[in-house]
Amino acid sequence: MSSVATAMTRRVPWRALAALAAAIPLAVMLVDGLREGLTVNPIQELTLRTGKVGLVLLVAALACTPLNALLGWRFTLSFRRDLGLYGFGYIALHLAIFALVDLGLDLDLIARTVLQKPFVIAGSAAFLLLLPLAITSTRGWQRRLGRRWKGLHRLFYIAMPLAVLHYAWLVKADLRPPLAYAVGVAVLLLLRVSAVRRLFGPRRRGVDYTART
């Protein structure tokens, strides 16, 4: 990127833009909720919408590091953690709607669902892997964990395939949308393998694009 472009991207309030973008789907849900725009089956509609938005945000978070490494889009690193947290927030909402509202916090029902349905097992595993990452996402934890922080946050690489598996296992017959996410996640993970990355040749040498997940 030219130095002019770099100077320009520096002035953009990226983190605020990311927050705004992540807030829009939630705002649409609230407005639709108020105007009865969530179909006649609103609980399912909210489950699907929060799941979808959460997945998109998490994939976007996963894309930041390769975008910096390959295209030199350093600004993506400034909101990488934010995207991950917003994505996690939607998934927490997704889980809450499912467990609290749909199943009415009926522990027996929840237990049976979790044990019976492969797609829920995969989703729950993904959520449980993301949970420690969300908790330790603060600077304080980063300092406290030191080098172990980076290792811990590699759990993201396991959580994302599980999340896509969750999606693939829940569609009725049309595997194309989850497959598209599977391909996307696979590419984004492969680009982290240094041998693969070298094929595409990093634009900027010396930038530590692996510093954080």
Partner 1 sequence: MLRRALPTISSSEITPESTYLTRMTRRGLLRAGAAALGAGALAACGADAPPPTASSDAQTAGPIRPTPDPRTPTASRQQDELGGALTPYASVTGYNNFYEFSTQKEAVATLARDFNPSPWTVTVGGLVSNPRTYDIDDLRKFDQEERIYRLRCVEAWSMVIPWLGFPLARLLREAGPTSQAKYVRFESLNDPKRFPGQRDRLYQWPYVEGLRLDEAMNDLTLLATGVYGRSLPPQSGAPLRLVVPWKYGFKSIKSIVRIDLVDAPPTSLWMAANGREYGFYANVNPAVPHPRWLQDSERRIGELARRKTLLFNGYEAQVASLYAGMDLARNY
8 A C-beta contact, residue 87 and residue 60: yes
Residue 84 touching ligand HEM (CB under 6 A): no
Site string for partner 1, 2-21 (x = CB under 8 A): ----------------x--x
Residue 163 touching ligand HEM (CB under 6 A): yes
Residue 126 touching ligand HEM (CB under 6 A): yes
Among 5, 30, 105, 109, binds partner 1 (CB under 8 A): 109
Which lies closer to ligand HEM via its Cβ, residue 51 or residue 75?
A: 51
Site string for ligand HEM, 91-110 (x = CB under 6 A): x--xx--x------------
* Residue 100 CB, nearest approach to partner 1 (Å): 12
Among 22, 55, 63, 93, binds ligand HEM (CB under 6 A): 55
* Residue 193 CB, nearest approach to partner 1 (Å): 24
Nearest to 58 by CA among 163, 132, 186: 163
Q: What does the alpha-carbon distance between residue 82 and residue 13 come to, in Å, rounded to a whole number?
A: 13
- Binding residues for ligand HEM, rule: CB under 6 A, are 44, 47-48, 51-52, 54-55, 58, 91, 94-95, 98, 120, 123-124, 126-127, 130, 163, 166-167, 170
